[in-house]
Amino acid sequence: MAQVYVSVGSNIDREAMVRSCVAALDEVFANLMKSSVYESIAVGFEGDNFYNLVVGFTADDPLEVARRLREIEVAHGRHRGEKRFAPRTLDLDLLLFGDQDLHDQGLDVPRAEITRYAFVLGPLAELAPWAVHPLLGKTYQELWSEFCVNHPTEADSIWPVTFPW
């Protein structure tokens, strides 16, 4: 079994979508862990703020995980083929699957977004601070600390919210 991390984001009916999504993930995957929920500005387009978090669980088949994530997105009104930077009911991205480098069969793991966006790296560093990025050899806490120094404005573009679970 591999440790899996998935980013969750929504900016359409975001509170309901995040709550429902986490409940759906909890039904499908055992031992679900979750970071705090963070609010962030929309990146790449004008739109309502997002709620973001990272969840973790264990699984043994990355393609099955990806399939289940797509099913949950669709069940929450997500339509594939939408513009990349646009409002969305739910966005689930498979960030990590153990220490595997999976860039085939439609997978992009580890996701480049991990080190590119505060709304991914911040919650991941909270949830798995001592886990090590499989390609960079640094912990997520180290990567977040570097991100905060090198991109302070972007690091400040996310903030934790009290989420009514």
Task: Name the region of 104 (left: φ>0; alpha: ψ -120 to 50; beta: rest).
Answer: beta
Query: Is residue 85 over pLDDT 90?
Result: no
CATH superfamily of 2-161: 7,8-Dihydro-6-hydroxymethylpterin-pyrophosphokinase HPPK (3.30.70.560)
Interval 18-63: pLDDT, tens? 999 999 999 999 899 999 999 999 887 788 999 999 999 999 999 9
Instruction: Give residue 30's pLDDT.
Output: 85
Distance, CA of 60 to CA of 151 (rounded, Å): 35
Please give the average per-residue pLDDT across 132-161, as a whole number.
Answer: 97
pLDDT recorded at residue 83: 60
Backbone phi, psi, residue 91, to 5°: -130, 115
pTM score, whole prediction: 0.94
| Average pLDDT of the segment spanning 70-76 | 95
pLDDT at 145: 98
Mean pLDDT of the chain: 94
Residue by residue, what is the 3-state secondary structure of the chain?
CEEEEEEEEECCCHHHHHHHHHHHHHHHCCCCEECCEEEECCCCCCCCCEEEEEEEEEECCHHHHHHHHHHHHHHCCCCCCCCCCCCCCCEEEEEEECCCCECCCCCCECCCHHHHCHHHHHHHHHHCCCCECCCCCCEHHHHHHHHHHHCHHHHCCEEEECCCC
Q: What is the pLDDT of residue 110?
A: 98
With pLDDT > 70 as the criterion, what percentage of the chain qualifies?
Answer: 95
**CA-to-CA distance for 53 and 39, rounded, in angstroms?**
9
Domain boundaries, the chain: 2-161
